[in-house]
Structure 1
Amino acid sequence: MKHGKKYMETAKAVDRAKLYDPDEAIALAKKSAVAKFDETIEAHIRTGCDGRHADQQIRGAVVLPHGTGKTVRVLVFAKGVKADEAQAAGAEFVGAEELIPKIQNEGWFDFDVVVATPDMMGVVGRLGRVLGPKGLMPNPKAGTVTMDVTKAVQDIKAGKIEYRLDKTNIIHVPIGKASFTEEQLADNFQTLMGAINKAKPATLKGQFLKSVTVAPTMGPGVKINPLKLV
């Protein structure tokens, strides 16, 4: 993969062989974000888990203290009072069965997170094939299947993010924008790592955090010493 001049310049500042302290790594990642847009700073956490085993799956959600810097559009599947609550909490879209053909047939995806009340999961289940691959399927572990739609919507708006293992047992999550202060990014990162350490499967043998890297959207990755995060 060919990289541009800017990338090559910023990459020089990062020692590929070094494992940095968390604060130093975050400062470097922030400095490496030189694109013309406000880049997202992401954390990539390689675990020692084997996601093929149900007891080693990691999935959950955490509210980042300073949010993600992104405006998140929320769709809530609910009826009656719960639909009113969702609207009052600030959900962009609220509906029930009538949304199924719109998503299924018209390919409507103007939303980033889907929340559903438990009684609506039968309806939402019909969208499993289209929502699942996009990571949009509501899930009780992530707090997106709930009767408390007000809290769910408010948490998402405040900067709640979901974390889960991908097929290669890596967790990819945003921890903020390059325009955030180093302190804000560090706060968000520590909050995220606290949640992930708590989610460590009891059955796991050996090292849990294999490698942890922070990187801006268009910049080089900066490796963090995982022993500093336990």
Structure 2
Amino acid sequence: MTQPTALSRKRGKNYAEKAQLVEKKSYPVSEAVELLTKVSTAKFDATAEVHIRIGADMTQADQLVRTTVSLPHGTGKKVRIAAFVPDEKIEEAKKAGAVLAGNADLVKEIEGGKIEFDIAVADPTLMKSLGKIAKTLGQKGLMPNPKAGTVTTNVTKTIGELQKGRIECKMDKQGIIHTVFGKISFGPKKLEENLTAILQAIKEAQPPGIKGVYILSVTIAPSMGPGIRVQL
């Protein structure tokens, strides 16, 4: 078992005890998620995170990884969705579950600094009008994007998928994909199925430009607690 480090001791006795449960090895997915449910140091229902390091040259456009995946059991988080749609689709979007739906009025709210949503979707006909707020939304990772599946003619379907747990997976500047795959309370089986869905989607999204080792490492962790390496 892993011995407590100076850092883990600094984090507290509880963290040090949990860290000792994790060995310095890579675990099969089923064992990793089983262990994950035992190492959270949070006093609340922690989020299950996964960090996937990709063997990509970040200066090459043909090596960037970006995909979406529908988690079988969702993320455990209720997402607030804003829909930029024509007038005739506003009620449809609201009935589908959007907390905000509109066009010019919604743009004006955001220009005024009011952003009260987690994900934005847009009808293609509204994309031009989002130019005024593209920088604001982009800085927060909220700008609708065709590659993320958030620019769509079928807003109702997209909102439904997002509510059920469709997530986007993309690399940061260091070539690492950070995302979540549920809550610790989901238990090992559901967490394993969600994690497997993410790993499969990322494998299928391998860009042709990456010729060497594609996935370098996979680490899972509770939002508060030690990381666990997963066998590739």
Same fold, TM-score > 0.5, yes or no:
yes
- 1:43 equivalent in structure 2: 50
Q: Partner letter of residue 168 of structure 2? A: E
Q: Do 2:87 and 2:103's aligned partners in 1 also have CA atoms closer than 8 Å?
A: no
Structure 2 alignment gaps of length 5 or more: 1-6
Q: TM-score, normalised by structure 1?
A: 0.94
**Displacement of 1:81 after TM fit?**
2.7
**Displacement of 1:7 after TM fit?**
1.0
Structure 1 Cα separation of the partners of residues 123 and 156 of structure 2: 11
1:116 aligns with 2:126: no
- 2:171 equivalent in structure 1: 165
- 2:25 equivalent in structure 1: 18
1:61 aligns with 2:85: no
Q: Do 2:65 and 2:207's aligned partners in 1 also have CA atoms closer than 8 Å?
A: yes
- 2:188 equivalent in structure 1: 182
Structure 1 alignment gaps of length 5 or more: none
Q: Deviations over 1:132-179 (max 9, x none)?
A: 121111111111000000111000000111110100000001000011
Q: Partner letter of residue 97 of structure 2? A: G
Structure 2 Cα separation of the partners of residues 223 and 212 of structure 1: 6
Q: Do 1:51 and 1:165's aligned partners in 2 also have CA atoms closer than 8 Å?
A: no
Structure 2 Cα separation of the partners of residues 100 and 191 of structure 1: 35
Structure 1 Cα separation of the partners of residues 140 and 72 of structure 2: 26
Structure 1 Cα separation of the partners of residues 64 and 193 of structure 2: 25
- Give SS of 2:75's match: coil
Alignment of 1:146-225 (within 5 A): 146-225=152-231
Percent identity between the two aligned chains: 46
Structure 2 Cα separation of the partners of residues 81 and 192 of structure 1: 35
- Give SS of 1:114's match: strand
Q: Do 1:49 and 1:169's aligned partners in 2 also have CA atoms closer than 8 Å?
A: yes
Farther off after superposition, 35-44 or 95-104: 95-104
Q: Do 2:70 and 2:166's aligned partners in 1 also have CA atoms closer than 8 Å?
A: yes
Q: Deviations over 1:94-142 (max 9, x none)?
A: 011112232122x222111000000111122321211112111111111
Q: Partner letter of residue 170 of structure 1? A: I
Farther off after superposition, 144-153 or 124-133: 124-133
- Give SS of 2:181's match: strand
CA RMSD of aligned residues (A): 1.2
Q: Do 2:220 and 2:227's aligned partners in 1 also have CA atoms closer than 8 Å?
A: yes
Q: Do 2:87 and 2:102's aligned partners in 1 also have CA atoms closer than 8 Å?
A: no
**Displacement of 1:51 after TM fit?**
2.9
Aligned residues: 224
**Displacement of 1:225 after TM fit?**
1.5
Structure 2 Cα separation of the partners of residues 58 and 96 of structure 1: 31
Structure 2 Cα separation of the partners of residues 27 and 142 of structure 1: 31
Q: Deviations over 1:35-82 (max 9, x none)?
A: 111100011000001232211111121110000000000000001332
- Give SS of 1:62's match: strand
Q: TM-score, normalised by structure 2?
A: 0.93
